[in-house]
Structure 1
Amino acid sequence: MSDMLADSHLLTWLIEQQLYICMVIIVLVFFEKKLLPSLGAKLSYCLWLILPAAMILNNLPLGFVAIESNEITRYLVSIKPPEFSLVELNYLPLVWGLGVLIIIFFGFFAKQQQQIASSLFPASSKGLPISLPEKLRLYHSDSVSSPLLLGVYTPKLVLPTNYQSVYSQTQLRMILEHEIYHFKRKDNLCNSVAIIFLSLFWFNPLIWVGYFSYRRVQEISCDSAVLKSKTKLQSIEYGKALLICAEQTSTKLCAYTHYGEKSTMLQRINNLKQNKSPKPLAQLTAIALTASLLSGIAVAHQGESHGFKQERVSPIVRIEPKYPVHAAEEGTEGSVVLVYDITPGGLVENVSIVTAQPQGIFDRQAKIALRQWKYDKSEGGAKRLLVQLDFAMGKDSEKAPDLLERIKVTQ
């Protein structure tokens, strides 16, 4: 049951992030589609850092201020006909978890990636037109049609076995510069984080749009770095090399760097043709806009954190306990007093039974239900709140006594 509740809390947290994630992705995709030449590929790629920044700002820990309450809240629990409940069936965590596993599998353990990894054989870098970084090892493979970096922590540079007959020396030099730039920037590690992020939020279509936009900008920024000091003729040769790569490539969900599907490749080639210099005014405007967006998220996060009033704490989501079957069959009524804490995020924790009458009949169902309650976010949360749940067979039942008058809560 604790695992089920943890999954429920995690899904609640994931859903709470959607507004800010969608806002950031819409802005970043707009930058890519409409303003990339004006902003410059390097800045457009760096701006993707605002997505994790927004997540951090929206989840900054708030100081916990203990608030003790001497008042008790009471709720009546009566017998109701069975209702269909996604919470009870726990389908949502199961579906979400299945989606996470599928995306993680295709991102890191897909058959094609395993085939590439098993087909590698070491190669010497002596004949290459450029020196490789000391920690970057060269491999050949019959299973790849274009150069790529394989691996996360220690990437390997993989070239097609027939690369010498496919690319000219000029083309090969620039392609290797492209991959070396990926290596130095640790793009494979960034791609792994992006896939994990995608797997957590796979149910949001905008996440997929953002993921592929991020990968496109990543490749375009490497192109820009490679061609920064190249001549027009060299740029043309590089464009031809991209066309060669595009002939046999397809879209893949993977952590390694690859040259992308044909539409992405054409977009990159079109970006090469434009060859526009970034506009400082556009760059400053984009930076100001993203800074304002992050500031707005931070302010909104703090605005949501209003303190609880000690005299009135009401749940925004209240799951009613099930009436135990054996108690209903015997016509047993009773009450349970529970003590619990509320986190700054509005979740219930540290639930325990203070007293119950009769003992051991309604305790379990009362605890299960209370753990699923949810409150508004607050600056400090609340500690040691009391609630009495009265289990009655019907509206005409005699009102249960206030058990709080007969107990003393130990601190």
Structure 2
Amino acid sequence: MNAELLRILFETTLATSVAALLVLALRRLLMPRLGASVVYALWALVPVAGLAMLVPAPEAVPAPMMLAARIGALSPVAARAAQPETFAWTSFATALWAAGALATAMLFAWQQRRFQRRLAGSLPHGEGLRLARGSEGLPAVVGLLRPRIVLPADFETRYDAGERELILCHERIHVARRDLWANAVAATLRALFWFNPLLHYAAWRFRRDQELACDERVVARHPHRRRDYAGAMLKTQMAGSSLPVGCHWQASTPLKERIAMLKEHAPKPMRSMAGAAVVSLLLLGGGYTAWAAQPEKPQAWPALPGAENTDYSARIEFSADGGKPARFFAYKRFGETFTMVDAAGQGQPTIVATVQPVTFEGKLAFDVDMRIIEDGETIARPRLVARNGETASVRQGKERNGKFVGISVAFQVAARDANAALQQARPFAPAERTQKLTTASGAQVEIASKNMNPPRYPVAAAQQGISGKVLLVVDVAADGSVRGAEIEKSEPAGVFDAATLEAVKQWKFEPAFENGKPVAGRVRVPVDFTVEKEDGAGGVVPGSAG
């Protein structure tokens, strides 16, 4: 759940940020040509882009149901044991976001409450009007559900009759356009995306454009009273404090910019129609673009015959060497082994997996134990933990020249009956972090250990024409040097052991990589001792056996 919430948060943050940048870029172009009202309407693109990301994305069409898929080559020297995924970071990030959103919402509530406390004791002053005891930040429109215009205490004496008419016209336009609802949406977005400074700046710019659009409407209705309207602005006492859900005369809205706007001609009908068309196209196009840009969502679980007799369904996705992932579904019982083999028959690794229910942090999860097999040898034992219905992933391989070489496997497991699975679940016990053995082929040994010197062929064995094999287990340090070695198997026993152990001290390997950094590991190295029959000379071929 936490991971899904963070994904939605990331996608909506990206969409609203791009939309805000687009509006900020277009407003300078459109303001002198189409007017402030068009620019103000264009700000709707920000919430529209965010909402578009919540509309379900197109579903990805998975590969046909099968338990075989081609897997790309895996570098065995770099293969390593994978640790179970932990969920602490998602829980922490979710808690941090929730705390920030709550703190921002509380700040806005306090600002709203502080402003409205100053209006206590206001008196009725006509239909929809209240006369306050103070003057700062007034006149203003407050009340989301029942908007009312609050006038300053000296409204009748500060303004003449013509100015009062223009002031009331301004405030009634706010009410008619439902600007308080627009401000409530802006405050909500700021609380949800409190961590995004771009959105806070965009909200400040949005409020300024809101006032400019309102001024434009007033001038359009009273084109010959621009001077009176400018005089009314100069007489108004601006508010230093913020009103998150309301419309008031803010000090942050420069009078110079507003008075300059009064010099502009009122938009003509054709320009207004063109502006409406531009806004509509941008809203529709922007919303669709944000929706279409979402990553494909996996297709819903398919219904298959016999699925009711299984314990869980698994959506499995894996890729080789960073390529396009292959997807398929499996329906199995807990503890039942299933195999993903190379369907193309090209000798690629095979993945064998089992799934068991466990409890992780007090909740149902699944322990996915995998074996990666190449040439009949287990080269790695990745293990991961996936919560019920959530995705966990692991990578086996290394970074080479800035590109990942290896395989990536992701599991999403869902229990058919979560309660029944929880009854079977055992507490999850992380396995000790052990270095898994890998088997290096001859070519890989030659590449990985360029400084390798072959063992000396024992004289007695060469004279007697004895050939043999030695299987070494080598401890490789992070710098590729040899820290130790032992004989795992030798044929004939004891004949070639000493020569092999003496030589391995001089070898140099390419180390394994983890998170882009070299790490220590263990590797199996087969060494063949052969006698050439033609001239009786002995030869050593490291890594030719497997």
After TM superposition, is the score higher than 0.5?
Answer: yes
- Show CA shifts across 1:50-86 (max 9, x none): 222222322212588998967599x986679xx9x99
- Residue type of the alignment partner of 1:37: P
Of 327, 333, 355, the residue aligned with 1:337 is 355
- Residue type of the alignment partner of 1:261: A
- Show CA shifts across 1:234-256 (max 9, x none): 211111212222x5433625111
Aligned mates of 1:249, 1:118 — CA distance in 2: 12
Tell me the equivalent position of 2:187. 195
Tell me the equivalent position of 2:94. 93
- Show CA shifts across 1:185-228 (max 9, x none): 22212211210111111212220121112211221222222221
1:299 aligns with 2:300: no
1:220 aligns with 2:202: no
Aligned mates of 2:356, 2:38 — CA distance in 1: 54
Tell me the equivalent position of 2:537. none
1:24 aligns with 2:19: yes
- Show CA shifts across 1:373-411 (max 9, x none): 379xxxxx977499x9994552359xxxxxxxxxxxxxx
1:238 aligns with 2:229: yes
Q: 1:314 to 1:16 in 2, by over 3 A?
A: farther
Tell me the equivalent position of 1:267. 257
* Structure 2 residue matching 1:252: 3-state secondary structure: coil
Aligned mates of 1:66, 1:269 — CA distance in 2: 58
Q: Of the two structures, which has the highest relative contact order with CA contacts closer than 8 Å and spacing of 6 or more?
A: 1
Aligned mates of 1:393, 1:252 — CA distance in 2: 55
Aligned mates of 1:33, 1:153 — CA distance in 2: 34
Q: Is the 8 A contact 1:32 1:217 kept in 2?
A: no
Higher strand fraction (1 or 2): 2
Q: Aligned residue pairs: how many?
A: 336
Aligned mates of 1:167, 1:149 — CA distance in 2: 18
- Residue type of the alignment partner of 1:220: L
Of 307, 313, 325, the residue aligned with 2:317 is 313
Q: 1:217 to 1:89 in 2, by over 3 A?
A: closer
Q: Is the 8 A contact 1:141 1:160 kept in 2?
A: yes
Q: Is the 8 A contact 2:131 2:151 kept in 1?
A: yes
Q: Is the 8 A contact 1:116 1:144 kept in 2?
A: no
Give the deviation of 1:107 after TM superposition.
1.9
1:152 aligns with 2:156: no
Q: Is the 8 A contact 2:170 2:218 kept in 1?
A: yes
- Show CA shifts across 1:152-178 (max 9, x none): 212232111112222111111111111
- Residue type of the alignment partner of 1:238: Y
- Residue type of the alignment partner of 1:240: G
How many percent of aligned residue pairs carry the same amino acid? 20
Q: 1:51 to 1:165 in 2, by over 3 A?
A: same
Q: Is the 8 A contact 2:57 2:292 kept in 1?
A: no
Please give the TM-score of this superposition, normalised by the length of structure 2.
0.51
Of 49, 55, 60, the residue aligned with 2:44 is 49
Aligned mates of 2:4, 2:177 — CA distance in 1: 35
Two-structure CA RMSD over aligned residues (Å)? 4.5
Structure 1's unaligned 5+ residue stretches are: 127-131, 317-334, 341-349, 357-364, 376-380, 398-411
- Residue type of the alignment partner of 2:125: S
Q: Is the 8 A contact 1:76 1:389 kept in 2?
A: no
Tell me the equivalent position of 1:33. 28
Q: 1:220 to 1:198 in 2, by over 3 A?
A: same
1:395 aligns with 2:413: no
Aligned mates of 2:241, 2:9 — CA distance in 1: 27
1:41-80 equivalent positions in 2, closer than 5 A: 41-62=36-57
Q: 1:374 to 1:53 in 2, by over 3 A?
A: farther
Of 9, 12, 20, the residue aligned with 2:4 is 9
* Structure 1 residue matching 2:221: 3-state secondary structure: coil
- Show CA shifts across 1:334-365 (max 9, x none): x972579xxxxxxxxx9555999xxxxxxxx9
Q: 1:182 to 1:339 in 2, by over 3 A?
A: farther
Aligned mates of 2:155, 2:108 — CA distance in 1: 26
- Show CA shifts across 1:294-353 (max 9, x none): 33333323x63465999851499xxxxxxxxxxxxxxxxxx972579xxxxxxxxx9555
* Structure 2 residue matching 1:227: 3-state secondary structure: helix
- Residue type of the alignment partner of 1:104: A
Higher helix fraction (1 or 2): 1
Q: 1:396 to 1:76 in 2, by over 3 A?
A: closer
1:117 aligns with 2:117: yes
- Residue type of the alignment partner of 2:216: S
Structure 2's unaligned 5+ residue stretches are: 70-78, 302-313, 323-352, 370-383, 395-410, 417-427, 438-546
- Residue type of the alignment partner of 1:23: V
Aligned mates of 1:393, 1:30 — CA distance in 2: 53
1:136-151 equivalent positions in 2, closer than 5 A: 136-142=128-134, 144-151=136-143
Q: 1:116 to 1:292 in 2, by over 3 A?
A: closer
Aligned mates of 1:25, 1:242 — CA distance in 2: 29
Aligned mates of 1:311, 1:201 — CA distance in 2: 32
Q: 1:253 to 1:373 in 2, by over 3 A?
A: farther
Larger Rg: 2
Q: Is the 8 A contact 1:338 1:351 kept in 2?
A: no
Aligned mates of 1:210, 1:191 — CA distance in 2: 12
Tell me the equivalent position of 2:392. 373
- Residue type of the alignment partner of 1:230: H
Of 148, 152, 172, the residue aligned with 2:164 is 172
* Structure 2 residue matching 1:394: 3-state secondary structure: coil
Tell me the equivalent position of 1:347. none
Q: Is the 8 A contact 1:339 1:384 kept in 2?
A: no
Question: After the TM superposition, which parts of structure 1 deviate over 6 Å for at least 4 consecutive aligned residues?
Answer: 63-70, 75-80, 308-311
